[in-house]
Amino acid sequence: MLSTPLGAGMAPGSATARFRATLTPLAVAPFVALAGIALVAIVLRFYDLAANPGGLYGDEAAEGLDAWRLLHQPGFHADFGVWFTSDGGREALFAYVVAGVFNFAGASVVALRATAAAFGVAGVLTIGHLGRRFGIWTGVVAAAWAAGSLWLVAVSRDGMRNAIVPLFGALALLALLRWADKPGRWTAAAAGAVTALAAMYTYQPLKLLPVLVVVWLLWLRRVDRPTYERLRADAVPFAIAFLVVAAPMIAVAVTNPTNYFGRVASASAFNPGVEADSNPIVHVLRTVAMFGFTGDPNARHNVAGLPLLPVPLAVVAVAGLVRLWRMRRDAGHALILLALPVFLAAPLVATEGGSPHFLRALGLAAPLGVAIGLGALEIVEQARRRWNRGASWLAMAAVAVTLAAIAVWSGWAYFTRPPADRYFAFSYPIVSLASYAADHPGSAAILDDYSAMDVEFLDASEPVTIYKPGSNVADPAAHSTYLALSLKDLASTLGPAVASRAEPIAWDPSGKPAVWAVTP
Residue by residue, DSSP assigns 243-306 as: HHHHHHHHHHHHH-HHHHHHHHHHHBTT-TT--BSS-HHHHHHHHHTTBTT-B---TTT-STT-
| Cα–Cα distance measured from residue 510 to residue 514, given in angstroms and rounded to the nearest whole number | 10
Instruction: Supply the pLDDT for residue 10.
Output: 41
Q: Between residues 455 and 280, which one has the greater pLDDT? A: 455
Q: Do 272 and 363 have their domain in common?
A: yes
C-beta of residue 303 within 8 angstroms of C-beta of residue 150 = yes
| Cα–Cα distance measured from residue 233 to residue 238, given in angstroms and rounded to the nearest whole number | 10
By mean pLDDT, which of 17-26, 169-178, 476-485 is the weakest? 17-26
pTM above the 0.85 mark?
yes
Q: Is position 3 within any domain?
A: no
Instruction: Supply the pLDDT for residue 28.
Output: 86
Domain that holds residue 65: 33-421
Q: Is position 237 within any domain?
A: yes
Calculate ∠ Cα 88-155-376, nearest 5°: 135
Q: How much of the chain, in percent, has pLDDT values that exceed 70?
A: 94
Q: Is position 463 within any domain?
A: yes
Q: Do 176 and 265 have their domain in common?
A: yes
Q: Do 259 and 407 have their domain in common?
A: yes
Q: Is position 26 within any domain?
A: no
Q: Do 165 and 48 have their domain in common?
A: yes
Q: Is position 21 within any domain?
A: no
Instruction: Supply the pLDDT for residue 263.
Output: 79
Q: Do 338 and 228 have their domain in common?
A: yes
Tell me what the mean pLDDT of segment 410-428 comes to.
96
Q: How much of the chain, in percent, has pLDDT values that exceed 90?
A: 87
What mean pLDDT, rounded, does the chain reach?
93
Q: Would you say the C-alpha torsion 177, 182, 187, 188 has a positive or negative sign? A: positive
Tell me what the mean pLDDT of segment 408-427 comes to.
96
| Cα–Cα distance measured from residue 345 to residue 340, given in angstroms and rounded to the nearest whole number | 9
Q: Which residues make Cβ contacts (< 8 Å) with residue 269, sequence separation at least 6?
A: 276, 280, 283, 349, 350, 351
Q: Is position 224 within any domain?
A: yes
Q: Which of 370, 386, 421 is the last residue of a domain?
A: 421
Tell me what the mean pLDDT of segment 37-65 comes to.
97
C-beta of residue 403 within 8 angstroms of C-beta of residue 309 = no
Q: Is position 345 within any domain?
A: yes
Instruction: Supply the pLDDT for residue 500.
Output: 95
Tell me what the mean pLDDT of segment 143-172 comes to.
98
In this predicted structure, the answer to whether residue 266 has a pLDDT above a threshold of 80 is no
Q: Which of 355, 388, 421 is the last residue of a domain?
A: 421
Q: Do 324 and 199 have their domain in common?
A: yes
Tell me what the mean pLDDT of segment 298-315 comes to.
96
Which pLDDT tens digit goes with each residue over 460-511? 999 999 999 999 898 999 999 999 999 999 999 999 999 999 999 999 999 9
Tell me what the mean pLDDT of segment 217-232 comes to.
97
| Cα–Cα distance measured from residue 401 to residue 386, given in angstroms and rounded to the nearest whole number | 22
Tell me what the mean pLDDT of segment 344-366 comes to.
95
In this predicted structure, the answer to whether residue 1 has a pLDDT above a threshold of 60 is no
CA 304 to centroid of chain Cα atoms: 19
Which pLDDT tens digit goes with each residue over 82-137? 999 999 999 999 999 999 999 999 999 999 999 999 999 999 999 999 999 999 99
Q: Is position 295 within any domain?
A: yes
Q: Do 435 and 408 have their domain in common?
A: no
- Judged on CB neighbours under 10 Å (0-12, 13-18, 19+), 117 is buried
Q: Do 376 and 484 have their domain in common?
A: no
Q: Do 235 and 314 have their domain in common?
A: yes
By mean pLDDT, which of 2-6, 324-328, 389-393 is the weakest? 2-6
In this predicted structure, the answer to whether residue 16 has a pLDDT above a threshold of 90 is no
Instruction: Supply the pLDDT for residue 3.
Output: 37
In this predicted structure, the answer to whether residue 179 has a pLDDT above a threshold of 70 is yes
Give the confidence band of 174 by pLDDT, cuts at 50, 70, 90: very high
| Cα–Cα distance measured from residue 438 to residue 455, given in angstroms and rounded to the nearest whole number | 9
In this predicted structure, the answer to whether residue 15 has a pLDDT above a threshold of 70 is no
Instruction: Supply the pLDDT for residue 456.
Output: 97
DSSP 53-89: S-S--HHHHHHHHHHHHHHHSTT---BTTTEE-STT-
Q: Do 209 and 63 have their domain in common?
A: yes
In this predicted structure, the answer to whether residue 357 has a pLDDT above a threshold of 50 is yes
In this predicted structure, the answer to whether residue 205 has a pLDDT above a threshold of 50 is yes
Instruction: Supply the pLDDT for residue 20.
Output: 55
C-beta of residue 340 within 8 angstroms of C-beta of residue 285 = no
Q: How many CA atoms lie within 13 A of 195 on its CB side?
A: 26
| Cα–Cα distance measured from residue 208 to residue 7, given in angstroms and rounded to the nearest whole number | 52
β-strand partners of 483: 445, 517
What distances in angstroms separate CA 133 from CA 9, 37, 266, one per listed residue?
Answer: 36, 18, 38
Q: Which of 387, 421, 455 is the last residue of a domain?
A: 421
| Cα–Cα distance measured from residue 214 to residue 209, given in angstroms and rounded to the nearest whole number | 9
What's the domain count of the chain?
Answer: 2
